[in-house]
Structure 1
């Protein structure tokens, strides 16, 4: 899952740079990609090309000291059935960003097997993530914050992530 590296690194860099103040929090839903999540503003949506995938979507919101990203990657038909695919997906995102995972625990998202992780990033940012696989799509929601920023927003985003449809 090394292909996710540049996408995650770019999002981590958002935490370190200047950005506009965040809007009020609201629940964002994407019927096309089958998820909902609380975010502090309307996300920018991109579809970065990733080798070996059919479709990708990245939803990002960046504020003064936080950045939030939801990434959806459509996997090859046989890739989701591989034992350990969920852990490999999360490992690839963390390694690709040069992050250091400080904890990981099994959890569930909308009744699906998931993993929640805490991550330290090279630029000093702290992050929480939740990853799951549903059908042929891998989902990861990552909230990142500057080291001195309150963790409440990041925790809210990760906790609110749901699959819909």
Structure 2
């Protein structure tokens, strides 16, 4: 059974700024320094586009994880979606929405749908451990994006 996690943030920056920061793999990796995350793209570009794949390696929950995702939807600056092609989940879809709420404010919504392996046991582990953990990671990443985006808007 899939589990959905949603985190909504309001950023004092234009949607294009926030969108571009979210697609930058170096920004992504830098958002959780304690995980020692690295990112390798199939295109060699650091900012992802439609069809690009990225493989992240990071330490979470005391273990090293590896996951590859592909950008399957790309509608700049409103929406992009990445979906796991290889990794720890049975399925993972991460929708990133950017809605202007003024000329220089953006509502950023991260909606992640995951399905763990191992049937009923995986569902229980997801509900009790993975979903709260992933919600915290998404919240930290959103705060990092907010900090960078708002700093960029204030710089000359």
Regarding TM over 0.5, the answer is no
Q: Tell me which interval the TM-score lies in, with the shorter structure as reference length.
A: 0.3 to 0.5
Q: Which has the higher helix share?
A: 2
Structure number with higher relative contact order (C-alpha < 8 Å, ≥ 6 residues apart): 2
Q: TM-score normalised to the size of structure 1?
A: 0.35
